[in-house]
Amino acid sequence: MDTGYGYHAELIQRHIELVPGYAAVREALTSDIDVGSDTLREVLGAAATFAEERLVPMNIAGDRQGCRLEEGRVRMPDAYKPVWAELAGNGWNSVDQPTRFGGQGLPAFVNAGCRELFDRACMAVGMLTGPTRAGTLVLLEFADETLQQEWIPKFVSGQWSATICISEADAGSDVGRIRTRAVRGEDGAWMVTGEKMWTSFGDNDLVERIGHLMLARTPDAPAGSAGLSLFLVPSNVRDGVGNWVSNGVTPRRIEEKLGLHGSPTCAMGFENSRAYLLGEVNRGLPQMFVMIQSMRLMVAIEGVGISFGAEQTALRYAADRRQGGASSRPPVTINSHADIQRQLLSMAARVEVLRALVYELAVRIDAERTGVATTAAHANVTQWLLPIVKASCAEAAFDVPNAAIQVLGGAGYTQEWPCEQWLRDARMMSIAEGSTGIQALDLVHRRLLKDGGRTLSHFIETVYREVSSADRSLAEPAVNVIERLKNAGATLLSWAGQPRDIEAGAVAFLHLSMLACTAWMAVRIAHGESNDAIGRRLAAAGRFWLHDLDARAAFHEAEILRGAERLGEFQNI
């Protein structure tokens, strides 16, 4: 049984090649960018080797040592610096970055594959690379050429990094209450003052400069989120003789967290810090969504990587651990017990349908960037998938390690096995970049109600086109779930003007949408024609996921249709 990183890379490649849009994206790329099977195998294989040989040992050391704040600077675990130098030096920070800034220019789905391997090995370091990649996207969209030329090559090389710096003590998801101020100095430059929190890698000693991408309020700005502007705030600036000096940016503290001990989560202070306005005044929030959407996909990739690692650990353990059977005979391996088989199949099925969904989304994004897909319907489906993929993979990242620990028993609760760290690290994923509840409200308000159900219709049409050609035994459960989703969507649309009823069922609608998405993916992977070990695994996962799908969908549909009625007892608790 191969449960290593090489096998992991092969699974990722199979998923990419199963996505219908992959071939068109591959053909649309310039002649000097090749993402055919041989190149994918080479890139993902090298990423798997780096993850297993360099990131895994770094992760273990970093989790145990943690980060520390000394003399006003965040010091990273000792094992990080040499590995970070290798990661950046070997180009892993530049996979899908623009070639004109020193990147490799490969599609996002290649970067997603590498990230999945790296996140399984060390999710903490992804909390540095992810925001930096997202920072490049923001600068490409909203910065002038001078700022792009100064910052993006440094992001690509790993010499500088970026943060997403939004939250404040009384303004988390409610960003309209942000109080950080940006004013013009005497020389006309913007100066930012305020306090931010929950900033991953808000400071670190791996890079020489950090660009904080933040929301702040300018003088006379409108109240609420409409009055926010987007700024790039450097951690340091050059003095008159060329030395780096502080830009009034100070890490106040490192949060003591349940997990991710190798990723410093900082409270940050900004005092008259020189800043660069990005884009237009008072357009900060929609502009920031370029970064936030990239980060949400990043969380989904992390979730699949961690879930797969935990599932594979449980699978390997169950094949070796002997317990039970007839007392007159030697004990049997626990994977021969029906309940263990149920648990292992459940984990594997969840991992594979979510992985299929991640690469469907990544390839769709590449199709839009390369001009392969230009229709509004395609863009609508991509936007529909984003909150679903983020929330469902984040939840799996906690649930699957939790299930794996159950299979391992007492051993799973110890540091001898990696599942306990994955459980700790993953818990933040359904909170960060918008909690599950926020993703549900986003799906309902911005994707369903805003256009009267048009985006949902485009999604349903897309799914029907693919599953209609599948065997009836596979297509029927998927169609049943889609019909339940269509019915639930129509009900929510009919409740326009009844926000409490709509929002009481928003998370259930998110979960029903996830079942519809994964039904689509389950049909795809179960219908594959390969009869090798990977093909058999994917087919088994798809079939198992579909077998009780309608019952689970019926439960979520009932939750949605009850509206706020089931909350009537709240005042009595």
Which residues are designated catalytic? 433
Q: Dihedrals φ, ψ of 149, to 5°?
A: -65, -30
Distance between CA atoms of residues 18 and 382, nearest Å:
17
Half-sphere exposure of 23 (CA within 13 A, CB side): 2
Decide: 211 and 273 in contact? Cβ < 8 Å. Answer: no
| DSSP conformational letter for 199 | E
Q: 282 CB contacts (<8 Å, ≥6 apart)?
A: 218, 221, 222, 226, 227, 228, 229
Amino acid type, 413: Y
Sort 77 into a burial class: Cβ within 10 Å, 0-12 / 13-18 / 19+: buried
Distance between CA atoms of residues 264 and 172, nearest Å:
18
Beta-bridge partner residues of 267? 253
Closest to 121 measured CA to CA, from 207, 61, 198: 61
Pairing of strands 68-70, 73-75: antiparallel
| DSSP conformational letter for 54 | I
Distance between CA atoms of residues 465 and 52, nearest Å:
39
SS3 of 545, please?
A: helix
Half-sphere exposure of 491 (CA within 13 A, CB side): 19
Distance between CA atoms of residues 289 and 280, nearest Å:
14
Asked whether the CA dihedral 380, 382, 383, 385 is positive or negative, the reply is positive
Decide: 512 and 550 in contact? Cβ < 8 Å. Answer: no
Q: Which residue has the tokens 């149920």?
A: 342
Decide: 460 and 528 in contact? Cβ < 8 Å. Answer: no
Distance between CA atoms of residues 443 and 388, nearest Å:
8
Longest dimension (CA), the chain: 89
Structure token pair of residue 571: 């005042």
Opening angle at CA 151, ends 147 and 152, nearest 5: 110
